Structure 1
Amino acid sequence: MITSSPVGEWSWEPRAKDAEFRHGHAAQTATDLWRRLAEPGLARPGGKAGVRVSHRNDPRDRVVIRIDCPGTWLEPGGTYRAEKLFAVQVEVWGGTLLVATLETYSDAWLTRDTRGREQPEVYALNAPRLAAALDGISALLGGPPEPGEENRYAAPSTTGFRDVRAEGPAYDDAWGTFETLDRTRLLDSRLPRSEDDYEQIADGPVRYVAVRRDDRTLGFVWAAVDDSAAGYVPRTAAGDEAFDAGAAWVTVLREARRSGLTPLAALRDAVRRPAPPEAGVIAQGGPAEAPSLDALEELSGRY
């Protein structure tokens, strides 16, 4: 499963080889970490990068470089890509401290996935790749990582993640408990407040259509078969585009509700109407049906 918040993180605080760390060390270190991830295929070109530099009058003298790294994980059925499989962040403080942090947004390295299910084949294919990347970064920075604290998803270790099969995870279904809330927050942050949303909870089967851009699925517009609810489910692996497109489709659904359309009629209307440029396009073919909204959310978060 792919998540919107980190499954785990690791940090390093290397010592300066010169008299002090300069701002350029942040960029070089971030690039070197990306290369270590790329060696086992955990990072691919095409990610997003950002730079923050403190104001010249700010005594903290801080520079932060962050890279969202697309990458691939392996399953017995094939290779899959997420637009933010990892994130690299490097901070330099006052020339005296450099902190490098690696975050992952996938559970492919866990013995149990973030819904509490054992996944021995997925673990066997991916955990050694993460361990190799951590070893490579540790060799680069001169020491082992400091694992992040155990969180709602997993417990990081110096070589990847701790095996919690004997004691059990912190939550039986952490992804189902928290990821829906995280994705709703990210979607809502792109939208004005409104009283025109359809009910967002469905108790039975749902019909849905895929939203695509080029060769990628961004998410799904859905409506309950009993005509009680409708909404949009982002495909988390598609990254920010999934949420940007979702904001456009939620706006379309709000307009449909203001026009008096029922949820199923709104879904039919969404299929027929021209989509705004930022929304992607509805995939060809009629609506598919999932046995529940949870099953559709599982599809949107797994691949």
Structure 2
Amino acid sequence: MSREQRPNPRLNEDLLFNVAPGGPPRYSRLSNRPVQYLTVVDRHGQVIGYAWANDEDDAAGWVVRKAGGDEAFNEGSVWAIKLHDAKARAIVPSAALAEMIQESDPTKSSHVVPGSLTEAPNVEAVRRLANPE
């Protein structure tokens, strides 16, 4: 006699995901308005990514340059954390960029390119700059 194994009924149930309120404050990652952005390079002068901001949408973010590889990704986390910390202190996005410029140190593993504060028509333009297809 053969015994047919039945699948566990719990494996057929739909998973329910409930959004939990709270968590750390974050800038919005979306803005269709003009944004300011900074170019960030590694110690060899290679672009690793861009920090961008828009005050009207309370939006800011970090865009890593994928061509920079793992080093760009790892170094970029420092700049993303700077944005998270600025939001936690209730600093407007453009002031967060200003802090990044002021605190940038060329002797560190990555830094803001002096004079690189520029405007783009929107976040997508910065993303295309970082990762042209």
Give TM-score scaled by structure 1 length: 0.34
5 Å-filtered alignment, 1:104-253, equals 195-213=24-42, 214-224=44-54, 226=56, 228-253=58-83
Q: Distance in 1 between matches of 2:127 and 2:72?
A: 13
| Identity fraction in percent | 31
| Secondary structure, counterpart of 2:100 in structure 1 | helix
Contact 2:40 2:112 in 1 (8 A): yes
Q: CA deviation at 1:225?
A: 5.3
The aligned residue for residue 19 of structure 2 is none
Could you tell me which residue of structure 1 aligns to residue 129 of structure 2?
299
Q: Say which SS state the counterpart of residue 131 (structure 2) adopts.
A: helix
Find the aligned partners of 2:117 and 2:103 in 1 and give their Cα distance: 15
Q: Which amino acid in the other structure matches residue 261 of structure 1?
A: I
Amino acid aligned to 2:84: R
Q: Distance in 2 between matches of 1:232 and 1:247?
A: 8
Q: Is the 8 A contact 2:36 2:119 kept in 1?
A: yes
Correspondent of 1:282 among 91, 96, 112: 112
Q: Is the 8 A contact 2:38 2:117 kept in 1?
A: yes
**What SS class does the counterpart of residue 197 from structure 1 fall into?**
coil
Structure 1 residue 271, shift from structure 2 partner:
0.9
What's the RMSD between the two structures over aligned residues?
2.0
- Structure 1 position 302, deviation (Å): 1.6
Q: How many residues align?
A: 109
Structure-2 change in CA distance of 1:219 and 1:286 (3 Å): closer
- Over residues 81-114 of structure 1, what are the superposed CA-to-partner deviations in whole Å (9 max), with x where a residue is unaligned? xxxxxxxxxxxxxxxxxxxxxxxxxxxxxxxxxx
Counterpart residue number, 1:257: 87
> Residue 227 of structure 1: CA displacement?
5.1
- Checking the alignment, whether the CA contact within 8 Å between 1:204 and 1:225 is kept in structure 2 is no
Tell me which amino acid in the other structure corresponds to 1:244.
N
Q: Partner of 1:64 in structure 2?
A: none
Q: Which protein, 1 or 2, shows the higher relative CO under an 8 Å CA cutoff with sep ≥ 6? A: 2
Unpaired runs of 5+ in structure 1? 1-193
Whole-angstrom CA distance in 1 between matches of 2:87 and 2:129 = 26
Letter paired with 2:132: R
Cα distance between partner residues in 2 of 1:236 and 1:205: 23
Tell me which residue corresponds to 2:98: 268
CA distance in 2, matches of 1:245, 1:285: 20
Query: Structure 1 residue 195: deviation in Å?
Result: 1.8
Contact 2:55 2:92 in 1 (8 A): no
- Greater strand share, structure number: 1
SS in 1 for 2:56: coil
> How far off its partner does 1:274 sit?
3.8
Partners of 1:282 and 1:274 in 2: CA distance: 6
For 2:55 and 2:87, locate their aligned partners in 1 and report how far apart those are by CA, in whole Å. Answer: 17
Pair 1:227–1:267, CA change in 2 (3 A)? farther
Query: 2:26 touches 2:88 (CA, 8 Å); kept in 1?
Result: no
Deviation at 1:226, TM superposition (A): 2.6
Q: What is the TM-score when the length of structure 2 is the normalising length?
A: 0.74
